[in-house]
Structure 1
Amino acid sequence: MTTAQMDMLWLAYGKAGIVGTIRHTDDIYRVTMSDRREVGDYPSIEVAKNALMSHLKAGTPRPDFRRA
């Protein structure tokens, strides 16, 4: 019997809507900005959230991360 790996997706909501996503597959968290630019792959959700934040405009409040 094969164990299926379920992907998890977090949406990052800013004041104007979704600013990016984090998708968990296998052992990585992949960050993609809302303009479809891939930021990179990270080992944990916290590191991925920080990476997404670092690609937002300076002074932008931390987005609300919601699991989809």
Structure 2
Amino acid sequence: MTVPTTAPRPVLLKPEEAAEMLRIGRSKLYELLAARELTSIKIGRSRRIRPADVVAYIERQATAD
């Protein structure tokens, strides 16, 4: 029997998880979402963020200077 060495990567992140990835607070993450600097999708009443969108945001910030 083989034991997986890594957990499967999530397809979507909760806002708290995206904030943790960016090392920012939850309130700041919601500010970024409201300003449309970071994109998200809505499923029912829940907001979810694609990991690729977090990476794209980081890339934009890195080249903004």
- Greater strand fraction, Structure 1 or Structure 2: 1
- Greater helix fraction, Structure 1 or Structure 2: 2
Structure of higher CA gyration radius: 2
Same fold (TM over 0.5): no
